[in-house]
Amino acid sequence: MSTTTSTSTTMAPAPTSALNASRTIATAARVLRQLRHDPRTIALMILIPCVMLFLLRYVFDGSQRTFDNIGASLLGIFPLITMFLVTSIATLRERTSGTLERLLAMPLGKADLIAGYALAFGALAIVQSALATGLAVWALGLDVTGSAWLLLLVALLDALLGTALGLFVSAFASSEFQAVQFMPAVIFPQLLLCGLFTPRPNMHPVLEGISNVLPMSYAVDGMNEVLMHTDVTADFIRDVLIVAACALLVLTLGAATLRRRTA
């Protein structure tokens, strides 16, 4: 064994993480191209929310009011869950297949990679949410007081939040099995506490306190604001900003989990 004092290799300064538009778009196009070779996944992502809403409408056949409440919340929750699942598996694959290591050894900024994923899945989320919202509002008679466009906006932000959470969580999963198990771990508590089952003020104060710091609560609140008010309320703006800020925060955390150097 040598005992010479070893000097650490001078670590190169972090490259400018400024977004490169061409690399971001190339990444988004690549992710969409991968999905195109997997039509079954696309069909499942897009059809399942519609089928669930359809089911829900006739489960609450006798009480249209309940369908309005739960239906609007679900329009926000579906994109979050789907994008969470898809992103966590997709990035886990990227990590385990060695393509992530290869990309990070190339001149690709972490921000380019993440923005590329967000762009691709965002586009998919628009299609999914547009179909689900259209079906709910026009075919199933979901009674929204506000604009359906606002529903779509919240749905899109939720999709972004799902992508962010999925990306972040994939860093802690070493297999697809673990990644899938993170879904109940990360999503179910939020689902229980977001006000879908019972209004949040009716919960035990401790749980209400917890629900106040979970982003999905604000996603559902935002949906309910649109449901009940004709115009854009201050509460709606607050909800939307919180969801967007959470998504950005988690995306930043996710970016920190992409390491160029690994053990």
Partner 1 sequence: MMNYSSVRSEPPDNPAVRAEALNVVRGIRQVLRDLDFTVPRGQVTGLLGPSGCGKSTLMRAIVGTQAKVTGTLDVLDRPAGHPTLRTRIGYVTQAPSVYDDLTIRQNLDYFAAILDPGRGSAERRHTNVTHAIADVDLTSHADALAGNLSGGQRSRVSLAVALLGTPELLVLDEPTVGLDPVLRRDLWNLFHSIAAERGATLLISSHVMDEAERCHRLLLMREGEILADDTPDALRHRTDSETVEAAFLHLVDEAVAAGRKKETTR
Binding site for partner 1 (CB under 8 A): 1-2, 4, 6-13, 15, 20, 22-23, 26-27, 29-30, 33-34, 37-38, 97-99, 101-108, 259-263
Smallest gap, in angstroms, from Cβ of residue 15 to partner 1?
Answer: 4
Nearest to 121 by CA among 154, 166, 74, 152: 166
Scanning the structure block, which residue is given the tokens 């115009």?
231
Smallest gap, in angstroms, from Cβ of residue 154 to partner 1?
Answer: 31
> In a 3-state reduction of DSSP, which class is residue 171?
coil
By beta-carbon proximity to partner 1, the closer residue of 53 and 113 is 113
By beta-carbon proximity to partner 1, the closer residue of 31 and 196 is 31
By beta-carbon proximity to partner 1, the closer residue of 30 and 229 is 30
Nearest to 155 by CA among 69, 85, 56, 77: 77
Scanning the structure block, which residue is given the tokens 């709606």?
236
By beta-carbon proximity to partner 1, the closer residue of 49 and 109 is 109
What residue type is assigned to position 148 of the chain? Answer: A
- How far apart are alpha carbons 2 and 239 in whole angstroms? 59
Smallest gap, in angstroms, from Cβ of residue 85 to partner 1?
Answer: 17
Say how many residues make up the chain. Answer: 263
At residue 194's C-alpha, the angle toward residues 193 and 198, to 5°, is 75
By beta-carbon proximity to partner 1, the closer residue of 19 and 139 is 19
Smallest gap, in angstroms, from Cβ of residue 221 to partner 1?
Answer: 38
Smallest gap, in angstroms, from Cβ of residue 178 to partner 1?
Answer: 20
